[in-house]
A and B are shown apart, each in its own frame.
Chain A
Amino acid sequence: MIGQLIDGPLWYFSLAVFGVGMLYRLYSILRAGVKPDLATPRAGGGAGALRNLFSRFAPRRDVATRGRLTLIAGYLFHLGLFALLFFAQPHVDFLAERITGFGWPALPYWAFIISAELALVGLLLLWLHRLLHPVTRLLSSVDDHIGTGLVFLVMLSGCLALAQAFEPLRLLHLFLAELLLIYFPFSSLMHTFTFVFSRGYTGAMMGRKGVNA
Chain B
Amino acid sequence: MSHDFAKGVAALESQIDSRIAAYFSSCVHCGLCAEACLFYTETQDPRYTPIYKLEPMRRLWKEQHTFWGKFAIKLGLSKPLSEQDFADWEELVYDSCTLCGRCSMVCPVGNDITYMIRKEREGFAAAGYTPPGLQEATHRALTIGSPMGVTLKTLQAALRHVERNTGLKIPMDRQGADYMALFSSMEVVNFPEYIESVARIFDAARLSWTISSQAFEATNSGIQIGSREAAREIVGRVVDAAESLGVKYVISPECGHAYTAIRWEGPNLIGRPYKFEIIHILELLDQLQQEGRLKLSGLTETPLTFHDPCQIVRRGGVIEPPRDLLGKVASGFVEMADHGEMNWCCGGGGGVSANERAEGLRLKVFDRKRKQLEALGVKTLVTACANCRIVLEEGIEDRDMDVAVIGLTELVAEHLATTPATASDGSGAES
Interface residues of A (CB under 8 A from B): 25, 28-35, 37-40, 42, 52-53, 56, 59-63, 66-67, 70-71, 74, 130, 133-141, 143-144, 186-188, 190-191, 194-195, 197-203, 205-206, 209-213
Contact = CB atoms under 8 A, between A and B. Distances in A.
Contacts of B266: 39
Q: Is the interface of B mostly helix, strand, loop or mixed?
A: helix
B342 A28 contact: no
A48 to B, nearest CB: 11
Given A32-B16, A34-B17, A40-B277, A188 B314 contact: no
Interface of B: 16-23, 25-32, 34-36, 40-41, 44, 46-47, 49, 51-52, 65-68, 104-112, 115, 263-268, 271-274, 277, 314-317, 319, 337-338, 341-342
Contacts of B108: 56, 59, 74, 195
Contact of A37 (B31, B52, B268, B272): B268
Contacts of B338: 61-62
Contacts of A29: 18, 21-22, 25
A31 B109 CA distance: 20
Contacts of B337: 62
Contacts of A32: 16-18, 20-21, 65
Given A30-B18, A136-B31, A195-B110, 10 more contacts: A32-B21, A39-B267, A56-B109, A56-B110, A197-B18, A197-B25, A198-B23, A202-B115, A211-B319, A213-B104
B109 A201 contact: no
A195 B26 contact: yes
A73 B276 CA distance: 50
Given A38-B271, A136-B30, A188-B27, A202 B17 contact: no
Most B CB within 10 A of own CB, among A52, A133, A199, A210:
A199
A156 B31 CA distance: 26
A13 to B, nearest CB: 17
Nearest to B19: A201
Contact of B111 (A28, A202, A210): A202
A201 B29 contact: no
Nearest to B272: A38
B308 to A, nearest CB: 12
Given A40-B277, A136-B30, A211-B319, A62 B36 contact: yes
Contacts of B32: 63, 67, 70-71
A63 B103 CA distance: 10
A38 B268 contact: yes
Given A56-B110, A60-B342, A201-B112, A28 B315 contact: no
A210 B267 CA distance: 17
Contact of A198 (B35, B110, B314): B110
A200 B268 CA distance: 20
Contacts of A205: 112, 115
20 contacts: A29-B21, A38-B267, A38-B273, A40-B267, A60-B36, A60-B342, A62-B338, A63-B32, A67-B30, A70-B31, A139-B29, A140-B29, A143-B68, A186-B67, A187-B68, A191-B28, A195-B108, A198-B109, A202-B111, A213-B105
B37 to A, nearest CB: 10
Given A29-B18, A74-B30, A191-B25, A63 B35 contact: yes
Nearest to B266: A39
Contacts of B19: 34, 201-202
B66 A201 contact: no
B261 to A, nearest CB: 11
A67 B19 CA distance: 25
B110 A203 contact: yes
A198 B31 contact: no
B251 to A, nearest CB: 15
A202 B337 CA distance: 25
List the 7 closest A-B pairs by CB distance, nearest first: A199-B110, A210-B317, A197-B22, A38-B267, A66-B35, A135-B31, A209-B317
A198 B49 contact: no
B25 A190 contact: yes
A140 B51 CA distance: 11
A209 to B, nearest CB: 4
